[in-house]
Structures are given as structure tokens and as C-alpha cells.
Amino acid sequence: MAARRLFSTCSLVFREFLVSKPGMFAKVIDGKAIGAAVRREVREEIQQLVSAGHRAPCLTFVRVGQDEASKSYVSGKSKAAREAGIKDQTIVKDEDITQEELLALIDNLNKDDEVDGMLVQLPLPPHIDEKTIVNAVHPSKDVDGFNVLNIGRFSSGSPYLLPATPAGVIEILKRCNFDTFGRHVCMVGRSKNIGFPLLTLLHSDGTGDATVTICHRYTPPEHLPICTKMADFVIVATGIPNLITKDMIKPGAVVIDIGINRIKDKDGKTQLVGDCDFEGISQVARAITPVPGGVGPMTVAMLLQNTLTAWKKKLSKQ
């Protein structure tokens, strides 16, 4: 039945991705292990195709300026690509590159047959329009899944290259056998790269098939707990630490925390936390993703998966 597609394509269900912790009711979803499994599968598939005589896939990163966070994201992604057997190259341009020069570079990479996937690291300097740039990346090489044609594809029920973080959440649900079919999902956050793709996939016919309630910055604070408490799945991407607490969760619900926030603990040390009160919610939820170690590791894994998809599509046309 087409409507069960999302959850039936995964032949292996890895129960070991749900970890029991002493004193906790909820199982902890091990995103690190799920990400590692995806990366291993990508590597194995590449090895097989390369052994069969194909050239290795190539992923090109374009980075503009010297933003430290962008440098670290790109170097992490390129290291993961190399480990998966993907040839990587990083093109670095000065902060003062013009939009036209950047578009010309993307055009060259679009035409380059040796380049299978391309990623322009965001954010870009303020004089460059990000939408124009992401839409200039050819949809077949758009491993970030940000091109409007790829957004149109999943919005109309024909997903191709999905944005990596939403794809990572879907993969977590699949691998843990959490079927959203006919269930109620509350998506808290509706950003164009995370909340919107996810809520679209989760309610789509043949994908998530859930009833989806969307909460966002203009949802009255007194309505937010009413919506979250009705849901079998609460998925949160707001960037607000502790927004979702134990009293807002239906007992037995699955909670996916996408937020990544840096806060100072009582000793002044920087700590990474999500948008949910992990300790409190762990006492009522059926399962929850930790931060770090939940959704985060899935983003890079799904980027590699997208590169594999783009490369295989190209091979199939040769």
C-alpha cells in the first residue's frame, strides 16, 4: 500500500537504537549510532559501485569568508565525506566576492561532470541573496535540498534530495520503528529549512500520513501546551532552551528535540542543550532524543546519503 511507503522501505529495524537508562522511563534514541549506521551503509554502497568500475562520487563545498562556525561545519562534513569514500573539494572565496561571481562559480560546477553534489555553506555575507544562490545550484546536485525545485518535489509528494536535518528526523523515526501513520504529530517551529520540510513530510500522503499541528512564534503561549499534550510525537526546532517541559507531554509520546543551544551552566561552563527539558520529559515520554547525540549526528549522515543518491542517479543515466 503506497501510504505505508515511508516506514516500509527500511528493511532493518534496529531496536538497539533505543537505549534504556537507569532511573529513566523513556528510552534514549541513540542518534550517534543511527548516524553511524547510515554512514556505514553509504560507504559500503560506494565501495561496491567503485569496485564495479565506477569513479568515486565527488562532493564540492563552496565557502565564502572566514566565519569560524562555517569553517568548522565544512571541515566536519568534508572529513565525513572522505571517510565514506566520497572525493571532496572545498572552494573558499573571499568575503567580498560579488553575487555575480558566486553565480558564475556555481554555474561552472553545475556544468562540471565530475561534480556530483554541491553545497554552498550558509550563511553568506549580507550583500549576497541566499535564495538566489541556493536556487542556482542545479537540483540534481543540490545535496542540501534547498533548491526550490527540490522543495516543490517533496511538497507535492515526490521527494528526491531532502534537506538533511528533516531527512535525519525521518530516518530516526524509521529506524526506531516509530510509525506516524494516522497518529498526531505536533511540530513546534516552522522554519523553511527544518520545521516546514518536516511538517510537510509528516502529513504527506504516502510519507508520514500523520495529523500535524504546527506551532510557531505566534502560537499563544497558553495554546502551545494544549497542542503538544494532544500529540503522540512532539518534534521541536525553535532554538529556545527549555521551551518544552514534562507537563506539556502526553505520557508515552515520542519527543524529538532538534534544537541546539549553547548556554552557561551554574559554574559558567558552556553547555549544549536542546529545546526540551530532557530530564523531566524522560520521566513521561516513551522515547526522546538527547542533545547532543540525537538529531545532530543525522544531519551529516543524510548529506552523505544525498550525495550517494545524486551520484547513483547520474550513473543510471550513463
**Which among 291, 268, 267 is positioned nearest to 279, based on CA atoms?**
291
CB of 39 or CB of 140, closer to ligand NAD: 39
Residues 282-311, mask of contacts with ligand NAD (x by CB under 6 A)? -------------xx--x------------
CA 96: distance to chain centroid?
Answer: 30
Shorter beta-carbon distance to ligand NAD: residue 109 or 287: 287
d(CA 51, CA 217): 51
Task: Verify whether residue 121 is a known catalytic residue.
Answer: yes
Cα angle 54, 56, 62 (rounded to 5 degrees) comes to: 145
Mask for 259-278, x = binds ligand NAD (CB under 6 A): xxx-----------------
Amino acid at site 22 = P
Instruction: List the beta bridge partners of residue 19.
Output: 28
* Nearer to ligand NAD among residue 91 and residue 224 (C-beta): 224
User: Which of 110, 191, 211, 242 lies at the binding interface for ligand NAD (CB under 6 A)?
Assistant: 191
Pattern of binders to ligand NAD over 192-221, x per CB under 6 A? -xxx-------------------xxx-x--
The residue whose Cβ lies closest to ligand NAD is 191
The grid coordinates listed for 249 are 507531554
265 catalytic residue (yes or no): no
Give the H/E segment covering residue 69: helix 68-83
Say whether 98 sits in a helix, a strand or coil.
Answer: coil
Strands 18-19 and 27-29: antiparallel
As a whole number of Å, the CA-based R_g of the chain is: 20
Binding mask 223-262 for ligand NAD (x = CB under 6 A): -x------------xxxx-----------------xxxx-
In the residue annotation, 88 being an active-site residue is answered as no
Q: Are 63 and 71 in contact (CB under 8 A)?
A: yes
Which one of 27, 30, 116, 121 is the catalytic residue?
Answer: 121
Is the sign of the CA dihedral 259, 35, 60, 311 positive or negative?
negative
Between 145 and 259, CB nearer to ligand NAD: 259
| Footprint of ligand NAD (CB under 6 A) | 165, 188-191, 193-195, 215-217, 219, 224, 237-240, 258-261, 295-296, 299
Q: Which residues are catalytic?
A: 77, 121, 144
